[in-house]
């Protein structure tokens, strides 16, 4: 069969493109960075290996206009088109499915993603989509789905019994195949075929890479091993987590370095290995000599997950970038978000990371519906303090936006604090919940935090790092800073909509 | 409010590292109990094993939804399948709901890992010992027990343990005609 895994270019009325941002939410940027959708890349790889003709159709990364993208897709004439959706682009996808059906009436449209998997009938009611796939294991379920459909039964809509699907059987008639979301052994998933997904399109325009070409590894954890944070889409009884074996991941790293010349590898798993697995991975990198190939490694983790010995080993293995969710500095917010760490341990973790030369990156959020001025000020003050003291090197700040029917989203709906019913408004460009203080205060806090890298104290601290003569610190100051400034300008520019 | 079967993050204040453990105690107990295996090259569990009365332990939570629906407790029969300390949430269920109709299938390496078996009615607990030491039982895995068991389609199946057991058990249950919507999992890591 001919299967297209498609990401249409989504451009808003201000000429900004939709891109995946913090917490894998969609945000609009004038100059976007392009992030490889890892699970979908694995799906494309697996389907191609099964003998299907697969089109990796990322209109954003391929720099197409919407019209170019659509014309190219129509010309390719796929049997199945797969989309990945999330709340702020749902309406766009619904409209796009109608447009496609007009030009490709025979093509089956499969909608995936965390929003539609939690409201499948809504998507089928409002669009021309044929099937909603209600699993985060898109690659595994797609393979089974395609195999069944390719048998050519005219009655597949009524007879297909793969669990976790909602299938259109009539104009407004749908059939659910059950709620079960199978736990899949991640070692059975495909390692991404880099050529198939045109990996170089994602290798340069990514603010998290200090060196290029960089790439995202095939994630070693699917969903999240913690999986309890209320604002995160990797949370819910419909999700489970699974983990890839260390040796398999090491094999991929070796291939990326030796055969593709990759100079920075980031694993975007919700939370990367910890404990024994993390140490085994670092030891494996060292044993294979990959730590001496001039390639940096990066990971997502949580405070209180990595101990000092593990961090020391990671540093020895040439890990650099460590992304940590620092959603707030007050304990009430951390408890309400189910973050599972305590403020008193944040500093120690950052000290360990910094001591061994890693570059901690903080992802901060503001605009929770309960957030007071006092709580907000504490977050800003703490972030400034950590950055000025060199305990964190980079940061990203976003507005906490309820979406994809996460527990936080549901909480906002149930408590009546959501200010809009329009999914387009969930694009993280402004606060959309009732708050105890004016929304402008949150935007001001974001501006303040994004101004930290321009502060003389921060710059002076970066210069002090140079005395260790670590290559990465010199690169950070003289190479990365240019890109960082551009990113900060983007984020601050985006807030102008909020103030309109 | 604590619900039976939820998990907590547990760590030592001096360590700055925590790990999640499922509760072993009942939801309405006035204390929290955990069943923790000491991982020799682990970080948190060896420290916890050395804890003395009076040491400061940090607890966060409760977290998670690996729980029974109260409205189903009287009407449903339950099958609990665990490996090792994965029996913890099931102990919490059984202690919290004394009238629960259940059967536990417990996979352990050695006989002495059949923790607190006296807390379960003998006809409601079956163990599979993979590396028997006492010579009174033969080597088998929890999936061997399930293959021989009479499993009902209308029961609810709760699985807790390592990833391999969960994957293998799901395949086995589906092959036996158990609907996927009746299977709930909590994977240890």
pLDDT above 90: percentage of residues in chain A:
75
For B118, what's the count of Cα atoms within 13 Å in the CB-facing half-sphere? Answer: 1
Q: Mapping DSSP to helix (H, G, I), strand (E, B) and coil, where does residue B112 land?
A: helix
Average pLDDT over residues A265-291: 95
Whether pLDDT at A181 is above 70: no
pLDDT tens digits, A448-471: 999 998 899 999 999 999 988 899
Average pLDDT for runs of 10 along chain B of length 189: 94 86 96 94 90 90 90 95 97 96 96 94 94 81 94 96 91 91 86
Residue numbers in B near A307 (CB within 8 A): 15-17, 43
B89 or A473: which leads in pLDDT? B89
According to the model, what pLDDT value does residue B180 have? 85
Scan for tokens 């005395």, then name that residue. Answer: A467
Q: Do B20 and A342 touch (CB under 8 A)?
A: no
- Helix H, strand E, coil C: the string for A245-296 is CHHHHHHHHHHHHHHHCCCEEEECCCCCCCHHHHHHHHHHHHHCCHHHCCCE
Which 333-372 residues of chain A touch chain B by CB within 8 A? 338, 340-342, 345, 348-349
Q: Do B181 and A242 touch (CB under 8 A)?
A: no
Residue numbers in B near A236 (CB within 8 A): 65
Sign of the alpha-carbon torsion through B105, B107, B112, B116: negative
According to the model, what pLDDT value does residue A498 have? 61
pLDDT tens digits, A401-447: 999 999 999 999 999 999 999 999 999 999 999 999 999 999 999 99
Sequence ranges of the domains in chain A: 2-176, 186-499
According to the model, what pLDDT value does residue A64 have? 94
Whether pLDDT at A490 is above 80: no
Question: What is the rounded average pLDDT for all residues in chain A?
Answer: 92
Q: Is the peptide bond before B62 cis (omega within 30 degrees of 0)?
A: yes
Which 262-321 residues of chain A touch chain B by CB within 8 A? 275-276, 304-307, 310
A135 within 8 A of A177, measured Cβ to Cβ: no
Whether pLDDT at A241 is above 80: no
Scan for tokens 């291939």, then name that residue. Answer: A255
Question: What is the rounded average pLDDT for all residues in chain B?
Answer: 92
**Is domain B70-187 classified as CATH 3.40.50.80?**
yes
Q: What is the dotted CATH code of the domain comprising A2-176?
A: 3.40.50.2300
Q: Which residues contact A418 (CB under 8 A, 6 or more apart)?
A: A402, A412, A432, A433
Taking each helix axis from N to C terminus, what angle separates A439-451 and A481-499, rounded to the nearest 10 degrees? 170
Please state whether beta strands B156-161 and B183-187 pair in parallel, antiparallel, or not at all (unpaired): parallel
A21 or A41: which leads in pLDDT? A41
Q: Is the peptide bond before A213 cis (omega within 30 degrees of 0)?
A: yes
Q: Do B187 and A182 touch (CB under 8 A)?
A: no
**Closest residue, chain A, to B59 (C-alpha):** A340
The reply to whether A185 touches chain B by the CB within 8 Å rule is yes
pLDDT tens digits, A38-84: 999 999 999 999 999 999 999 999 999 999 999 999 999 999 999 99
Range(s) within chain B of domains with CATH label 3.40.50.80 = 70-187
pLDDT tens digits, A320-368: 999 999 999 998 999 899 887 888 889 999 999 999 999 999 999 999 9
Q: For B187, which of A163, A241, A338 is closest by C-beta distance?
A: A241
According to the model, what pLDDT value does residue A180 have? 66
pLDDT tens digits, A364-396: 999 999 999 999 999 999 999 999 999 999 999
Q: Which residues contact B135 (CB under 8 A, 6 or more apart)?
A: none
Report the residue of B62, B64, B153, B163 to disrupt the A interface, i.e. the one with the largest count of A CBs within 10 Å: B163
Whether pLDDT at A20 is above 80: no
Q: Do B189 and A178 touch (CB under 8 A)?
A: no
The reply to whether A140 touches chain B by the CB within 8 Å rule is no
Terminal Cα-to-Cα distance of chain A (whole angstroms): 48
According to the model, what pLDDT value does residue A208 have? 84
Q: Do A306 and B189 touch (CB under 8 A)?
A: no
pTM (two decimals) = 0.91
Q: For B18, which of A178, A304, A348 is closest by C-beta distance?
A: A304
- Looking at the complex, report in whole angstroms how far the Cα of residue A270 sits from the nearest Cα belonging to chain B: 14
B3 or A185: which leads in pLDDT? B3
**Is domain A186-499 classified as CATH 2.130.10.10?**
no
The whole-angstrom separation of Cα A431 and Cα A233 is 19
According to the model, what pLDDT value does residue A31 have? 76
Whether pLDDT at A228 is above 90: no
Residue numbers in B near A304 (CB within 8 A): 9, 11, 16-18
Q: pLDDT tier at A23 (50, 70, 90 boundaries)? A: low
Question: Which one-letter DSSP state was computed for residue B122?
Answer: G
pLDDT above 70: percentage of residues in chain A:
94
């Amino acid at each position: 069969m001919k299967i297209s895994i498609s990401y249409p270019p989504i451009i808003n009325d201000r000429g900004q493109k939709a891109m995946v941002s913090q917490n894998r939410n969609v945000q609009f940027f004038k100059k976007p960075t392009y992030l490889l959708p890892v699970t979908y890349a694995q799906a494309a790889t697996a389907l191609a290996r099964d003998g299907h003709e697969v089109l990796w159709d990322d209109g954003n990364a391929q720099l197409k206009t919407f019209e170019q993208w659509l014309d190219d897709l129509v010309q390719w004439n796929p049997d199945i088109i797969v989309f990945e959706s999330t709340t702020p682009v749902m309406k766009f996808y619904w409209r796009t499915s109608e447009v496609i059906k007009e030009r490709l009436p025979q093509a089956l449209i499969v909608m995936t993603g965390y929003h539609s998997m939690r409201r499948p009938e809504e998507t089928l009611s409002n669009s021309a989509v044929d099937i909603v796939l209600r699993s985060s294991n898109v690659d595994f379920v797609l393979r089974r789905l395609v195999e069944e459909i390719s048998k050519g039964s005219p009655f597949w809509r009524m007879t297909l019994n793969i669990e976790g699907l909602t299938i259109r059987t009539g104009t407004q008639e749908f059939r659910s195949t059950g709620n079960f979301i199978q736990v899949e052994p991640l070692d059975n998933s495909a390692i991404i075929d880099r050529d198939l997904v045109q990996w170089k399109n994602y290798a340069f325009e990514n603010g998290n890479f200090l060196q290029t070409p960089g790439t995202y590894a095939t994630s070693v954890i699917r969903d999240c091993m913690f999986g309890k944070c209320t604002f995160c889409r990797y949370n819910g009884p419909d999700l489970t987590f699974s983990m890839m074996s260390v040796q398999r991941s090491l094999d991929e790293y070796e291939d990326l370095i030796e055969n593709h010349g990759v100079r920075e590898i980031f694993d975007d798993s919700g939370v990367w290995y910890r404990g024994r697995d993390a140490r085994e991975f670092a030891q494996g990198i060292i044993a294979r000599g990959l730590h001496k190939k001039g390639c940096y490694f990066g990971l997502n983790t949580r405070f209180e997950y990595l101990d000092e010995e593990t961090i020391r080993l990671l540093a020895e293995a040439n890990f650099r970038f460590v992304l940590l969710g620092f959603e707030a500095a007050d304990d009430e917010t951390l408890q309400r978000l189910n973050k599972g760490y305590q403020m008193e341990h944040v500093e120690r973790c950052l000290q360990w990371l910094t001591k061994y030369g890693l570059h901690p990156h903080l992802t901060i959020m503001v605009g929770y519906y309960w957030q007071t001025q006092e709580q907000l000020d504490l977050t800003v003050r703490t972030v400034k303090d950590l950055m000025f003291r060199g305990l964190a090197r980079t940061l990203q700040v976003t507005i906490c936006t309820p979406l994809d029917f996460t527990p936080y989203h549901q909480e906002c709906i149930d408590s009546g604090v959501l200010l809009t019913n329009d999914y387009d408004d969930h694009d993280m460009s402004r606060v959309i919940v009732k708050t105890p203080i004016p929304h402008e205060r949150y935007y001001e806090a974001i501006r303040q935090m994004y101004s930290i890298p321009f502060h003389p104290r921060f710059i002076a601290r970066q210069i002090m790092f140079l005395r260790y003569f670590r290559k990465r610190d010199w690169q950070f100051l003289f190479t990365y800073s240019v890109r960082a400034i551009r990113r900060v300008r983007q984020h601050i520019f985006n807030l102008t909509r909020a103030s309109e | 409010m604590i619900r039976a079967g939820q998990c907590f993050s547990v760590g030592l204040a001096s360590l700055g590292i925590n790990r999640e453990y499922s509760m072993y105690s009942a939801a309405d107990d006035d204390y929290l109990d955990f069943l923790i295996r000491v991982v020799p090259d682990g970080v948190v569990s060896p420290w916890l094993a050395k804890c003395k009365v009076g040491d400061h332990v940090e607890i966060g939570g409760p977290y998670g939804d690996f729980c029974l629906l109260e409205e189903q407790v009287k009407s449903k029969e339950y099958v609990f399948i665990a490996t090792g300390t994965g029996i913890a949430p099931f102990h919490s269920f059984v202690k919290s709901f004394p009238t629960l109709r259940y059967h536990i299938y417990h996979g352990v390496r050695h006989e002495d890992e059949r923790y607190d078996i006296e807390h379960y009615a003998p006809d409601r607990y079956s163990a599979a010992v993979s590396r028997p030491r006492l010579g009174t039982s033969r080597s088998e895995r929890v999936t061997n027990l399930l293959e021989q068991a009479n499993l009902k389609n209308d029961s609810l199946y709760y699985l807790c343990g390592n990833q391999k057991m969960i994957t293998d058990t799901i395949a086995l249950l589906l092959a036996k005609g158990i609907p996927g919507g009746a299977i709930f999992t909590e994977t240890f890591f």
